Chains A and B, each alone.
Chain A
Amino acid sequence: MTTLKDLEITYDKPNWCPGCGDFGVWVSLKNAIVQLNLNPWEVVLVSGIGCSSKLPYWVKTYGFNGLHGRPMPAAEAIRLANHGLTVIVVAGDGDQYGEGLSHFIHAARRNINITVLVHNNQIYGLTTGQYSPATDMGEKNKATPVPTVEAPVNPISLALSAGATFIARGFAGDNKQETELLIEAIKHKGFSFVDTMQPCVTFNHKNTFAWFYERVYKVETKNHDPKDKTEAFEIAESWPLRRLLKEGEKEQIATGIIYQEERPTWEDGIPQISTMRLVKQSIENIDINSILDELI
């Protein structure tokens, strides 16, 4: 049985700002690994660069901390090389929706069996608070002289249209729900995506824990059927807004499993790995004489 202790790093501990939403996501991810009883050495956390991407340093599984925006391609290849592994991408919103957006779309359409956990704080944390592709319209910070007029990306809509087969939104203020979502995401066969609203207490003074508590609701309480793609799109489009808020209006932010479907995975379509994991295949004495014969 895998325990929380097995996942503990003894020589270091998280250095996020006190109160940062990343703590909740970290706890939930470890809980999910424990509850799924995954062997820590068969889990690989692949991250980019940002506060959130430091997470793999503090979980005792295999980790690959790559480049800003590029954890996805590395994770895809890790999974193809060894599909016995549980591969989880840990990225920030800048990471995944800025530099890494095209990789996100391509991985989703391929339906590779990995889980993508985005810590969405709607801001660049590590670079000290510039606006991100997920920043709400009308926000002003040190990277924009006037309130931003750029509409934010809508990660859930994007994932839906890109072909992701498991799409959820979590919230760092609800560890129980986040743990459950991560468990379902990891269990899902295919590309699973959990966009997690993660307040940055230091730089994002708008989208705070309190702000979210007043706005989040769970889709299952409204009888949403995750198989219903049309309804999923409606939910996805309800927030974030591509306009300024009207007088007296208040956002409603859906959390929970918004969409799920079954579709063959990328790995399913690769006969080269159907009987044996790539990494287990011997490369000693590969005989290429028959190719030489074709060249005569």
Chain B
Amino acid sequence: MMQEMKSAKSGPPSMVDFQWLIGGEAGYGIMTVGAIMGKVFTRLGLSVFDYTEYPSLIRGGHNAYYVRASDEEIFCQKQPVDILVALNRETIDRHKHELTPQALVVYDPNVTKVESTEFTTQTLILIPFLELTKQVGADRLMINTVAVGASIALLYNDFSVLEGILKDIFGRKGEKVIALNVDTSRAGFDYVVKNFAGKSQIAIQEKPQENLFIGGAESLALGAIRAGVKFAAIYPMTPINAVLTTLSAYALKYNIVVKEPEDEIAGVNMAIGASFAGVRSIAATSGGGFALMVEGLGLAAQTETPLVVIEGMRPGPATGMPTWTDQGDVRFVLHAAHGDFPRIVVAPGDCLEAFTYVMEAFNLAEKYQMLVIVLTDKYLNEGHTTLKISNLKSQISNYKIDRGKMLTDEEALKETDYKRYLFTEDGISPRSIPGQQNGIALNGSDEHDEKGLYNETSKMRTTMMDKRFKKLDAVAKILPPPVIYGDKDASLTIVGFGSTKLPVLEAIKWLKKEGISVNFLQVVYLNPFPADVVLQILTGAKKTLVIEGNKTGQFESVVREKTGFVFSNHFRKYDGRPFYPEEIVEKVRSLL
């Protein structure tokens, strides 16, 4: 549980920066209303981040949905909770230690019993959720909708934004459903206006809206759509389910064949088959499914078939903790193979990067006829955040499709002695696709010669291996260098990858307000590893701290292996939870 880290140290004050939390039994629509709250805050112009905790159960387990919003840019959740909406007693037991002294505790006194001594400084907001649902003729399962209306009333004095969102969300389900949802949430809204006006010290000032609200997995899927993905074979697994469902939601509009294969082995072999046949294709999974895909990764490499695979990490081994977050698959994705073959591994750190790097992954895969693994995790995939629409749009319009040396039908026709694995300067051979006359070739998993015919001679084997790895050298030359966030001459440099970017940037922002200067080196491409730049930055740093979400310091050991740099400080977490900015701040303070 989270109690141990809830010393309720707030971040530095800002105009509006609060965290709302709703908790209840699984099955009561916690996830739906959490997302609605995020959307409301987005439309009010705030910066928003959400984070969920839930067990791998459909009914009965405890679900918690945190939404943090602020009128300055925020990057992640924080520890203290300002508004707790408890749909049951368990929520109070689990989360009361997270509350700020001024927090509001919202619950139904007819359902949840609270001792008079339990909350000494907090304000109790008693709302008869169940009674209100009855009054508007709604099912008891709709107490979550009452809670949304009530929550909004505590923060903002107008119901219309929420109403607009409910209409958008339930629009397809017809007038009746819309009316019921609007009435139900309005009942909560009105109840608070009538009985608890002025109880909340948080008052949202509406700002011009320039953001949209998006999840990590959605960002991955949208990036793929923009990049022209035409085929996806994805076997369900947390935390990549939303990649599958988002692609599927737009499959008809964008003519994408989205299939649920019989297993991940089929998934990866299907993605390879489709790519061989000339369409951009993708597979996605978590660690367990990725384990099943391993032989297929080598097949893509050996046949030089472009392949993009998303791996969303969760705590293993085996089933582990399916719905929690982790960064323990670093070594796995870097090495998953029998035999040596080149691969690109990219780890986006936020939603915008998820979108951008997936698009780029498709270009890299086709240009270098190579496997690209996009490494993410539950925290990134299932969290939602506000993104500046203009940032996203410029990424969209800057993107150019690059299919590399894929032959057009006309080019293929001109071939007289086509060699699928022709030796070239950069190792990349022109690629034909089935259906092209004069491009006929066999793409095979056996070692082969330039024509693709199996060949086991010492010379050919060595030359072919070298050819494949030449491509990796070519990739290394064009990849963007790792990114540094913050002051150049900071007193401490934090190093990390993937979603830890979010709490690290938040912590840096807070520390800066205290006058402590920390910067962050984000390694985006884990392979080919940008060793020279990283070493240069690290040796120039005053102090270093490497941060990652696993037990054995897999990322740290990769940096050391590639650069020789020995870190003196590390911060690791492997409890299934993401890093909190408070924890990072504390760690940094202890080092300076």
Contact = CB atoms under 8 A, between A and B. Distances in A.
Contacts of A283: 227-228, 230, 280, 401
A286 B435 contact: no
Given A77-B271, A106-B262, A82 B225 contact: no
Contacts of B487: none
Contacts of B407: none
A61 B441 CA distance: 7
Nearest to A40: B440
Interface in B406-445: 433-445
B520 interface: no
B265 A73 contact: yes
A46 interface: yes
Nearest to A43: B434
Nearest to B451: A11
Given A12-B453, A84-B435, A278-B255, A74 B230 contact: no
A62 to B, nearest CB: 4
A288 B399 CA distance: 12
Interface centre among B281, B295, B438, B442 (most CB of A within 10 A): B442
A60 B583 CA distance: 63
A183 interface: no
B251 interface: yes
Contacts of A60: 440
B274 interface: yes
Interface stretch (B93-101, B178-186, B208-216, B320-328): B208-216
Contacts of B278: 81-82, 279
A281 interface: yes
A292 B392 contact: yes
B144 interface: no
A39 B266 contact: no
A230 B256 CA distance: 39
Most A CB within 10 A of own CB, among B42, B213, B261, B279: B279
Nearest to B255: A272
A77 B277 contact: yes
Contact of A74 (B269, B389, B441, B442): B269
B451 A81 contact: no
A103 B438 CA distance: 32
B277 A66 contact: no
A276 to B, nearest CB: 8
Contact of B226 (A70, A102, A288): A288
B230 A77 contact: no
Nearest to A15: B454
B453 A80 contact: no
Interface in B381-417: 389, 392-393, 396, 401
A51 interface: no
B257 A272 contact: yes
B252 interface: yes
Contacts of A66: 269, 272-273, 299, 303, 445
A39 to B, nearest CB: 7
A271 interface: yes
Nearest to B251: A272
B119 interface: no
A288 B274 contact: no
B392 to A, nearest CB: 7
B443 A65 contact: yes
A234 interface: no
Contact of A296 (B43, B259, B396, B438): B43
A210 interface: no
A73 B270 contact: yes
B451 A288 contact: no
A102 B265 CA distance: 11
A270 B230 CA distance: 13
A291 interface: yes
B262 A64 contact: no
Contact of B257 (A11, A65, A74, A270): A270
B139 interface: no
B279 A286 contact: no
Contact of B209 (A65, A74, A296): A296
B226 A62 contact: no
Nearest to B256: A272
A206 to B, nearest CB: 30
Contacts of A11: 451, 453
Interface in B254-312: 254-257, 259, 261-263, 265-267, 269-274, 276-281, 295-296, 299, 303
B332 interface: no
A49 interface: yes
A41 B252 contact: no
B270 A74 contact: yes
Contacts of B389: 292, 296
Given A49-B445, A64-B443, A77-B270, A272 B303 contact: no
Contact of B266 (A41, A64, A73, A278): A73
Interface string A69-105: 0101111111011101100000000000000001100
Contacts of B272: 66, 74, 77
Interface in A2-27: 11-12
B233 interface: yes
Given A41-B434, A292-B393, 13 more contacts: A11-B453, A41-B436, A44-B277, A74-B273, A80-B257, A81-B231, A81-B273, A82-B434, A82-B435, A276-B255, A279-B279, A289-B393, A292-B392
21 contacts: A39-B437, A41-B438, A41-B440, A46-B273, A57-B442, A62-B435, A66-B303, A66-B445, A70-B266, A74-B269, A77-B277, A80-B257, A81-B277, A82-B278, A82-B435, A85-B277, A272-B256, A279-B433, A291-B250, A296-B43, A296-B212
Pairs A-B, 3 closest by C-beta atoms? A283-B228, A77-B273, A74-B273
